[in-house]
Structure 1
Amino acid sequence: MTTILPATAPLSRRTLLAAGGALLAAPAVLRAQQLFAAYPFQLGIAAGDPASDGFVIWTRLAPAPLDDHAGMPMQPVEVAWEVAADEQFANRVAHGTALALPDLGHSVHVEVTGLLPDRPYWYRFTVGRERSIAGRARTLPAAGTRLDRLRFAVAGCQNYEHGLYTAYRHLAGEDPAFVFHYGDYIYEGRGSPTAIGYDGKPAPFVRAHAGQQLFDLADYRRRYAQYKLDPDLQAAHAAAAWFTTFDDHEVENNWVGLIDQEGDAPEVFALRRAAAFQAYYENMPMRRSAFPAGGGMQLYRRALVGDLLDLHLLDTRQFRTDQPCGDGFRTICTGVADPKAQVMGLKQEAWLGDAIKQRAARWQVLAQQVMMMPLDRRTADEPAAIRNMDSWGGYDHPRERILAMLDGVPGAIVLTGDEHQNYAGQLRRDGGTGRSVATEFVSTSISSGGDGADKRHGEERIRARNPYLAWTNDRRGYLLCDVSRDTWRASFRTVPYVTRADAPLQTAGIATVAHGDPTPVFERG
């Protein structure tokens, strides 16, 4: 069973009809006889939000992906879809038609139901003589059903300009039951013919963004189209269903609530954020419950995977208060201890607390965006502790409330991204000095940050100042989780470079956690 919270604001009749792919009186619908000047499925296909009886299947028609309206006419287009129990589509188990509406960038979201639990299915789309590639998605085991083993992947942070998506090609071959994408699917900066690293020095040029910095709906749609043209990203989507969440770059770097880095008035930023949210929905395989409404999106939700995994997908952007101490990597200031500060908002916190109390599965998993360990980031002889204020490290009171929820809960795991590096460590109460209550695995980026290194700068000093940190690494890649009833095995899968093609797959390290003991045992790959 996948539990989806209802949208925070009711959807209008027109919105519901559009989101569901139906229109009572759609004028001049272009049906199967429609011919395109170019292949309309260039952005691939995807599946998402798997449940025990189905999943969402997605595509977006784009014969000219980077042109205005992706080369599509401003009319609804009828798209046929089918789901089969075999790769050859000899045993078709569900089929129908949906409307690709210009209002939604000619995207299609079909919520497929009536399927059997815990088995693979194949799906594809057709318009006239044009047919998409086939994708594969697996339904979840029914909630409460005994499940002994599960494999899934964690990925995100895929800056197009920083590197190639070779890691996604490798991920597609891992046969995960699903993928959790923690965010930063796109990056919002303007295109540049040169590359500059985080150190301010010239970096290897790989490829450039098309267009300016993103502000309106057309900008965001074009950027998603450019990213989705990547064949390795398409392969990863076609290999498994994804649970997707956004972080900051889907809108703007380090935004929270209605606060942006540009210093815009909240009502002005709200317009940009609404455009970004619409484009995000249009390009992700998400359910109608996530349809943008009232200027926001219902992003946090829950999925029960048999009796093994209780997956809590969190939203750490929409309800967060402003970062303290000036944002970024900063010396700790009094704002870090602000008792009124929020990361998830009180409503989402209450929802999470109620779900954790149910103990509905053996492992309780928080799938979210920013690091929860309050790392002291000093790499030299700085006199006072430095933290990343855009992480939970900038919010002492909200972090302690979440750790209190997990205290006494065996098998508590936190999955994180955003850092562009790998980390494994314990989550301890009282600012990292108290009792250990959970394990945190931070997955590195797919490409953001460039090639990286096997050993990160200042690693020894960071390890010495943060005894709860077991391991860190600075390569690109993804996290592969192999879960049994008694053991969680996290393999940090990496590639040695992303600035050129055909990087081989490596395992930088493996961290294992026994159920009931949050201390990760680390071994080299």
Structure 2
Amino acid sequence: MQRRDLFRQLSRAAAALAWQQVFAASGRVQPDDASAWSEPADVFTLGVASGEPQPDSVVLWTRLAPRPLQADGGMPARAIPVPWEVALDARFTQVVRQGVAVADPAVAHSVHVVAHGLQPGRAYFYRFSAGGQHSPVGRTRTAPAKDAKVRNLRMALASCQHYEHGFFTAHREISDADVDLVVFVGDYIYTTEAPRHAQVRKHAHAFAKDLAARTLADYRVHHASYKLDADLRAAHAAHPWLMVWDDHEVLADYAGDHDPYLDDAQAFLAVRAAAYKAYFEHMPVSPHRVPARADMPMQGRFQWGQLADLWLLDTRQYRDASVCQGSVLHAPMGGKVLWRCKAAEEGNRTLLGQGQEDGLAEGLAGSMASWKFIVQTTQMSPGLLHVPVAGDLVYAEGWDAFPAARARLMEAIAQPRVQDVVVLGGDVHRHVAANLRLDPRDRSSPIVASEIVASSITSKGLSELANAWIKSSNPDIVHMRSDERGYVLIDVSPQQVQCEFRGTLHPVRAQAKFRTQARCLIERGVPGVRKV
């Protein structure tokens, strides 16, 4: 074991122990203690959420914050007992599980309850109590039993929600949708300001221009300002979420321990530690993900009976630093591209880190599920721009800039025992359906998997002129549009995966109406996707 990995594990063990001590306190809280603190203002301004469903448990989240745009949420500097209940009905006449958690100031009075002892494959209602108030009621569900022969899984795939680029109207539709899961693949918040001409609404909190000056208090307030959006709260309250992150939860374009705009490595790690901690405090993720300084484990595997395995991958924390920074171009249609960058071709470069690469390959080979979903942040199929004579322009932040890492993953997917793989992504602000080949740059190479990428909830995409250029340069793209914002509805059955791309025009207005932009189908035993 490398020395750095040893220290990382020791730090995580210490953090886990500290978190267990916070939770252990909940067992010592007496019921009468729940009434010892009261607050006339709304305590549950940030709503409730659930996530990471297992057959017998689900994570329940809330944060006490009567004044959410203050770093401490307007809370006293002491731990507060928070009773919680899980019931079979929304009126809580049939409570099946209950307990008392502790909202500690060390984690911004957030609560992460793992509600155990639930039945597999069924819906539940939950709520919290504090300050003399009940929280809003949330609805969640557990995963089916691992050996269950499940007939259907319905997911909403979403990413990229720059607050200033539009309203979160897509989440209003998602909250009303009949889905089992919301799968969110990164850029939950944006710490950058949109150009004034592109602003539909204004961030309630602005970060300092000096990147090194960003603090935990900044990230806490920024997360809270996003959670104040009623449509986002509604989507969290309606369904359990599975989540991965991308760069904007910390700083734009960061890679591993490096940030291209902050030369001081220690200063960046301090910012990353603050960002990770605030992310944990505001998301329905398991207590075992509690950050240890600047590290936080986000990867994981979730099963939906015998129907589907879902691997959540972290494409930021372990990736190699950006290369060819002196030759990065800012393309006219937006985004950063590499041109003639030999360093990007190096065989040892990784987007996931060796541990994730090995773990995913092993998991795919051993999976007995009908469908295998790789949940990560960006477009895996080629999205390069071909320029006659001059050569190709490559998106600097995606898989095209890590061809060797992509080749290793395609090799793992192409193994005889691994079939029916679907890659899910976001980041590029466009709806995409594509075929994935063993060698993406060889048209004669076999198709081994399928890809579905969700457009952004609000973040602005490329022009259709640029979009057409990308499509003409990459013939394995079956569907692509970047002029509309939206999300994807994914229906999974034992024999097929159906995808419905939902969209509305940019900018996203408060009363925007969504339409079905396209439908695509992936059939069991037939790698690749087609429009229907």
Cα distance between partner residues in 2 of 1:349 and 1:107 = 32
State the match for 1:417 in structure 2. 426
State the match for 2:515 in structure 1. 506
Pick which of 47-56 and 487-496 moved more. Answer: 487-496
What amino acid is aligned across from residue 393 of structure 2 in structure 1? I
Instruction: Tell me, yes or no, if the aligned pair for 1:308 and 1:485 is still in contact at 8 Å.
Output: yes
Q: Secondary structure at the match of 2:155?
A: strand
Instruction: Tell me, yes or no, if the aligned pair for 1:85 and 1:91 is still in contact at 8 Å.
Output: yes
Cα distance between partner residues in 1 of 2:22 and 2:400 = 38
Offset at residue 87 of structure 1 (A) = 1.7
Q: 1:445 aligned to 2:456?
A: yes
Cα distance between partner residues in 1 of 2:411 and 2:204 = 43
State the match for 2:527 in structure 1. 518
Q: 1:293 aligned to 2:292?
A: yes
Offset at residue 133 of structure 1 (A) = 0.6
Cα distance between partner residues in 1 of 2:137 and 2:21 = 25
Cα distance between partner residues in 2 of 1:267 and 1:204 = 33
State the match for 2:400 in structure 1. 393
Cα distance between partner residues in 2 of 1:12 and 1:261 = 29
Aligned residues: 504
Cα distance between partner residues in 1 of 2:191 and 2:199 = 20
Cα distance 1:250–1:46, how it changes in 2: closer, same or farther (>3 A)? Answer: same
Q: 1:491 aligned to 2:500?
A: yes
State the match for 2:4 in structure 1. none
What amino acid is aligned across from residue 385 of structure 1 in structure 2? D
State the match for 2:409 in structure 1. 402
Instruction: Tell me, yes or no, if the aligned pair for 1:177 and 1:241 is still in contact at 8 Å.
Output: yes
Residue by residue, what CA displacement relative to the aligned partner does 1:270-295 show, whole Å, maximum 9, x if unpaired? 11111111001101111122111253
Q: 1:210 aligned to 2:217?
A: no
Give the alignment of 1:339-350 within 5 angstroms.
339-350=347-358
Offset at residue 25 of structure 1 (A) = 8.4
Cα distance between partner residues in 1 of 2:119 and 2:26 = 29
CA RMSD of aligned residues (A): 2.1
Instruction: Tell me, yes or no, if the aligned pair for 2:143 and 2:305 is still in contact at 8 Å.
Output: yes
State the match for 1:72 in structure 2. 75
Residue by residue, what CA displacement relative to the aligned partner does 1:306-333 show, whole Å, maximum 9, x if unpaired? 0010100001111110123325222241
Offset at residue 14 of structure 1 (A) = 5.1
Residue by residue, what CA displacement relative to the aligned partner does 1:382-432 show, whole Å, maximum 9, x if unpaired? 721111121011011110000111114221100001011111101112233
Offset at residue 153 of structure 1 (A) = 1.1
Q: Secondary structure at the match of 2:464?
A: coil
Cα distance 1:171–1:23, how it changes in 2: closer, same or farther (>3 A)? Answer: closer
What amino acid is aligned across from residue 344 of structure 1 in structure 2? L
State the match for 2:331 in structure 1. none
Give the alignment of 1:291-440 within 5 angstroms.
291-326=290-325, 328-378=336-386, 383-407=390-414, 408=416, 409-433=418-442, 434-440=445-451
Cα distance between partner residues in 2 of 1:166 and 1:229 = 14
2:485 pairs with one of 476, 482, 499: 476
What amino acid is aligned across from residue 469 of structure 1 in structure 2? I
Residue by residue, what CA displacement relative to the aligned partner does 1:342-368 show, whole Å, maximum 9, x if unpaired? 111111111111111112201111000
Offset at residue 30 of structure 1 (A) = 6.7
Cα distance between partner residues in 1 of 2:258 and 2:15 = 27
Offset at residue 518 of structure 1 (A) = 2.2
Cα distance between partner residues in 1 of 2:313 and 2:77 = 36
State the match for 1:38 in structure 2. 41
Offset at residue 375 of structure 1 (A) = 1.7
Instruction: Tell me, yes or no, if the aligned pair for 2:166 and 2:199 is still in contact at 8 Å.
Output: no
Residue ranges of structure 2 left out of the alignment (5+ in a row): 1-7, 329-335
Cα distance between partner residues in 1 of 2:384 and 2:470 = 7
Offset at residue 500 of structure 1 (A) = 2.2
Offset at residue 381 of structure 1 (A) = 5.7
Give the alignment of 1:42-441 within 5 angstroms.
42-189=45-192, 195-196=195-196, 202-213=197-208, 215-326=214-325, 328-378=336-386, 383-407=390-414, 408=416, 409-433=418-442, 434-441=445-452
What amino acid is aligned across from residue 396 of structure 1 in structure 2? P
Cα distance 1:19–1:338, how it changes in 2: closer, same or farther (>3 A)? Answer: farther
Offset at residue 142 of structure 1 (A) = 1.0
Cα distance between partner residues in 2 of 1:412 and 1:346 = 21
1:10 pairs with one of 6, 10, 13: 13
Instruction: Tell me, yes or no, if the aligned pair for 1:251 and 1:273 is still in contact at 8 Å.
Output: yes
Offset at residue 82 of structure 1 (A) = 0.3
Q: Which has the higher helix share?
A: 2
What amino acid is aligned across from residue 83 of structure 1 in structure 2? V
Cα distance between partner residues in 2 of 1:320 and 1:490 = 30
Cα distance between partner residues in 2 of 1:382 and 1:90 = 71
Instruction: Tell me, yes or no, if the aligned pair for 1:152 and 1:481 is still in contact at 8 Å.
Output: yes
Residue by residue, what CA displacement relative to the aligned partner does 1:467-523 show, whole Å, maximum 9, x if unpaired? 111110121111110011111111111123444211112111111011122221113
Offset at residue 256 of structure 1 (A) = 0.9
Instruction: Tell me, yes or no, if the aligned pair for 1:489 and 1:510 is still in contact at 8 Å.
Output: yes
State the match for 1:3 in structure 2. none
Cα distance between partner residues in 2 of 1:291 and 1:309 = 27
Pick which of 391-400 and 291-300 moved more. Answer: 291-300
Q: Secondary structure at the match of 2:149?
A: coil
Instruction: Tell me, yes or no, if the aligned pair for 1:144 and 1:360 is still in contact at 8 Å.
Output: no
Residue ranges of structure 1 left out of the alignment (5+ in a row): 1-6, 197-201
Residue by residue, what CA displacement relative to the aligned partner does 1:48-96 show, whole Å, maximum 9, x if unpaired? 1000011000000010010231111111111110000112211100011
Q: Secondary structure at the match of 1:58?
A: strand
Cα distance between partner residues in 2 of 1:162 and 1:94 = 41
Cα distance between partner residues in 2 of 1:40 and 1:204 = 30
